[in-house]
Amino acid sequence: MEDRWLSVDEMAEYLGVRRDTIYRWINDKRMPAHKIGRLWKFKKDEVDTWVRDGKAGEATKGK
């Protein structure tokens, strides 16, 4: 069963970016993430949809 929550490191590896980029996307681009305690967790299908919809490439207001 591959419907598990992924960590920041796992998501960075999956998308081929640095973990700093993941944190920036959470804050600036509303990347779909869920905070569980102190940790950010991700559902792969939610992030896939977010990327497919072009959200990762959108310009950030004020930046």
Rounded to whole angstroms, how far apart are CA atoms 12 and 18? 6
Looking at residue 61, its pLDDT comes to 55
Distance CA 50, CA 31 (A): 7
Q: Please report, as a single letter, which amino acid is at residue 39.
A: L
Q: How far apart are CA 47 and CA 62, in angstroms?
A: 24
Q: Tell me the domain boundaries of the chain.
A: 8-53
What's the pLDDT tens digit per position in 5-59? Answer: 999 999 999 999 999 999 999 999 899 999 999 999 999 999 999 999 988 877 6
Higher pLDDT, 24 or 63: 24
| Tally of CB atoms within 10 A around 1 | 3
